Amino acid sequence: MPEIISPTHPDWSREHKRFWEWAPGKALLASIRCYQRHAGRRNPMSFIARKTAIIRHMFWSVICGCEIPLNARIGGGLVMPHPNGIVINTDVVVGPNCLIFQQVTLGSNGRGVPVLGGHVDVGAGAKILGPVRVGDHAVIGANAVVTSDVQPETTVVGIPARPLSRGE
């Protein structure tokens, strides 16, 4: 029986990085999480932690070739197995337990930004642009360009993205 991944409760073990493990995506996320954890605190240790997190974020952003802001609203359990070239707009909301592959853009079209539900899988090279809502357990195919809402538990492919019918 396949494992069911929750669209509401983050699985933090998906982001866990062992000390010796080469996992740039997890290291980048760790720097973002560290910065956000210490952002509202006004003590000397939090100041040092924030500055260290900023340096780590800059380093891992260069290694990955990513543009993910420190104040990004990313739910727990995000997995980026190949984080090269991922671009996420500052205002985008990413739900818990999502999977984002390389060269994905989550951005604005001038009217708004996407909101991804929980456990959304975004294939390599996909672009999700504008005020789009992607439902829980949705799958965005590789190189799809999504400019309209995606219903929960739906797979979309193509340019522009359209839902797959049962026979495809």
15 confidence band (pLDDT: 50, 70, 90): confident
Angle CA 144–95–112, to nearest 5:
60
| Cα atoms in the 13 Å half-sphere on the side-chain side of 53 | 20
Interatomic CA distance for residues 135 and 107, integer angstroms = 17
- The pLDDT tens digits of the residues spanning 110-160 come to 899 999 999 999 999 999 999 999 999 999 999 999 999 999 999 999 999
CB-CB contact of 118 with 62 (8 Å): no
Q: Work out the mean pLDDT of the chain and round it to a whole number.
A: 92
Angle (CA) 155 91 133, round 5°: 25
Q: What is the pLDDT of residue 165?
A: 66
Give the model confidence (pLDDT) of 25-79 as tens digits.
999 999 999 999 999 889 999 999 999 999 999 999 999 999 999 999 999 999 9
User: Looking at this protein, which amino acid is placed at residue 74?
Assistant: I
Phi, psi of 77 (to 5 degrees): 85, 15
User: pLDDT for 91-121, tens place per residue?
Assistant: 999 999 999 999 999 999 889 999 999 999 9
Closest CA to 77 of 137, 27, 11: 11
- What is the pLDDT confidence band of residue 166, given thresholds at 50, 70 and 90? low
Domains along the chain with CATH numbers = 12-163 (2.160.10.10)
